[in-house]
């Protein structure tokens, strides 16, 4: 920026700097208009971003009414969930059944004989753990499909080392140590419940490959883990009676006993527990209410942004914006459309959803509930028919419209590109104005500096002449 040398010296105190500042301010006036225009564009970008967010919310709400799961929701109730709880997948047919829990599923648990000395080494060998099923009478073990897990025990390993190795072997069994007055015991427990999840522990010492031989069961060395061991809890399936028929499950959850329903035995019952599965009308109505709210949110925003208030002579931010008005009309046309896909209902008003003054929707809950109770399939068809064109349901049409609006080459992308281009041009215009102002300031400063220098020179000459005249007058007298 140009600077003024000795401002006002030759101009007898004239405030040249202030004069130049005021002239530059006048030149900058177009910047104020450009900055105001840029602020307006940025506000519009923000407004359309908010509108886009609400359109996305409307698309989500419409999706719930176009999907099968949105209409196939069910509720599952238990007459006493402390004993039996239950859930059902969407689309399960309404049903009621009774459950009596006779016993819960159990995991096998064993305890070794007491070992002394506490903390002493057990002896070298190999521990073998197998998962499978025990038969009580006669007692026999049937290995499962998995491979046995063998764990090497060294001569210096203590019982705590053995337990640690078992827990790290992934054998499907957990180990812990119980210490009492008689010594320490190895406690084993299956990680899973059910008869098929039992286990067998055996020991191999030296070169003896038969775990049932006397050398591997004689209560010496490592075989002390199996000699005298007891089953503290046998593996067992959960047992229940459903509508008078006995059923079992390896866990307390019965997932395939009743089609579409999973019930869980929480504790043994003393009386039958009633499980009821029914259509979830409340969820459907909630989805419809959510759809109405999502539409009202965007309609209200567009209504406020495009209106003109004659009382206050004020216009909304998007008043006169043809694209905003077109968007509002598109949404209203979709809401007001007629679905010809069949059924008793063709308009939203037929099920109690009417448009109010200003465009918002209102729900007559009584009429909607009656329609859902009397003609649920027709209500579903009104929203999610997919016959194409006018045969499409209202939610299907709204979903198609919002998807198009939100696409990469849709309404909002196009509008944002236009507004961003306007901002770019505004920024370029501001740059040009600033460059013009800087050039003007530099130019006028140079002129005032030259004028100041010239006036200073003339003032000096005037002073010299005055001195000479004064001297001449004095000499003449």
- Are the CB atoms for 222 and 148 separated by under 8 Å? no
CA angle, 48 then 52 then 53, to 5°: 120
Q: Is 339 left (phi over 0), alpha (psi -120 to 50) or beta?
A: beta
Which pTM does this prediction carry? 0.66
Task: Determine the average pLDDT of the residues in 349-363.
Answer: 94
Residue 333: exposure state from Cβ atoms within 10 A (0-12, 13-18, ≥19): exposed
Please give the distance of CA 85 from its chain centroid, rounded to a whole number.
28
Q: 439 and 24 in contact (C-beta within 8 Å)?
A: no
Whether residue 395 has pLDDT greater than 70: yes
The strand pair at 230-233 and 109-111 is best described as antiparallel
> Is residue 319 predicted with pLDDT exceeding 90?
no
Q: Which residue has the higher pLDDT, 127 or 208?
A: 127
Q: Is the pLDDT of residue 406 over 50?
A: yes
Q: In whole angstroms, how far apart are CA 445 and each of 14, 156, 452, 456?
A: 14, 98, 10, 16
Task: Return the minimum-mean-pLDDT range out of 149-163, 182-196, 371-385.
Answer: 371-385
Share of residues in the chain with pLDDT > 70 (%): 96
Does residue 60 have a pLDDT over 90?
A: yes
Assign 81 to helix, strand or coil.
coil
Dihedral Cα 46, 50, 56, 58, nearest 10 deg:
-150
Tokens of 187: 């406690």
CATH class of 109-233: mainly beta
The values of phi and psi at residue 257, to 5°, are -75, -50
SS3 270: coil
Dump strand ranges (E) for 335-404.
353-355, 361-363
Q: In the prediction, which pLDDT does 278 show?
A: 92
Question: Domain extents for the chain?
Answer: 1-73+280-452, 74-105+238-279, 109-233
Structure tokens at 54: 């609400």
DSSP type of residue 272: -
Question: Given phi > 0 = left and psi -120 to 50 = alpha, else beta, which region is 289?
Answer: alpha
Each residue's pLDDT tens digit, 224-273: 999 999 999 999 999 999 999 999 999 999 999 999 999 999 999 999 99
């Amino acid at each position: 920026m140009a600077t003024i040398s000795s401002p006002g010296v030759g101009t007898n105190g004239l405030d040249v700097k202030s004069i130049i500042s005021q002239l530059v301010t006048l030149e900058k006036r177009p910047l104020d208009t450009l900055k105001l225009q840029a602020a307006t564009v940025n506000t519009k970008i923000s407004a359309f971003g908010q509108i886009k967010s609400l359109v996305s919310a409307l698309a989500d709400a419409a999706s719930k009414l176009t999907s099968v799961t949105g209409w196939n929701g069910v509720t599952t109730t238990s007459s006493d969930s402390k004993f039996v709880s239950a859930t059902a997948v969407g689309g399960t047919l309404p049903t009621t059944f009774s459950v009596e829990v006779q016993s819960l599923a159990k995991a096998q648990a064993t305890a070794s004989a007491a070992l002394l000395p506490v903390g002493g080494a057990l002896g070298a060998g190999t521990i073998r753990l197998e998962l499978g099923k025990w038969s009580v009478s006669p007692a026999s073990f049937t290995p499962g499909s998995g491979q046995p897990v063998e764990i090497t025990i060294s001569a210096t390993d203590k019982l705590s080392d053995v337990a640690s190795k078992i827990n790290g072997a992934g054998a499907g069994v957990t180990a812990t140590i119980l210490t009492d007055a008689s010594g320490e015991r190895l406690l084993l427990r299956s990680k899973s419940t059910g008869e098929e999840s039992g286990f067998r522990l055996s020991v191999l010492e030296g070169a003896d490959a038969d775990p049932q031989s006397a050398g591997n069961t004689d209560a010496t060395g490592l075989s002390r883990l199996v000699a005298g061991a007891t089953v503290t809890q046998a593996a067992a399936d959960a047992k229940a009676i459903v509508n008078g028929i006995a059923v079992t499950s390896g866990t307390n959850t019965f997932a395939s006993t009743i089609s579409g329903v999973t019930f869980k035995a929480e504790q043994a019952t003393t009386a039958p527990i009633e499980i009821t599965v029914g259509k979830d009308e409340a969820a459907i109505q909630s989805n419809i209410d959510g759809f109405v709210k999502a539409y009202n949110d965007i309609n209200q925003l567009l209504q406020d942004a495009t209106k003109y208030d004659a009382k206050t002579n004020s216009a909304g931010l998007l008043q006169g914006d043809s694209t905003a008005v077109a968007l509002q009309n598109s949404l209203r046309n979709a809401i007001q459309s007629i679905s010809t896909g069949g059924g008793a209902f063709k308009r939203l008003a037929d099920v109690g959803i009417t448009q109010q003054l200003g465009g918002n929707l209102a729900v007559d809950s009584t009429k909607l509930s009656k329609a859902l109770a009397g003609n649920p399939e027709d209500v579903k068809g009104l929203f999610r028919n997919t016959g194409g064109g006018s045969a499409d349901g209202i939610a299907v049409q709204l979903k198609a419209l919002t998807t198009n609006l939100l696409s990469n080459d849709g309404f909002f992308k196009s509008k944002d590109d236009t507004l961003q281009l306007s901002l770019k041009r505004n920024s370029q215009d501001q740059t040009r104005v600033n460059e013009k102002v800087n050039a003007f300031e530099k130019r006028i400063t140079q002129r005032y500096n030259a004028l100041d220098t010239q006036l200073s020179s003339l003032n000096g000459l005037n002073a010299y002449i005055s001195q000479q005249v004064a001297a001449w007058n004095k000499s003449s007298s």
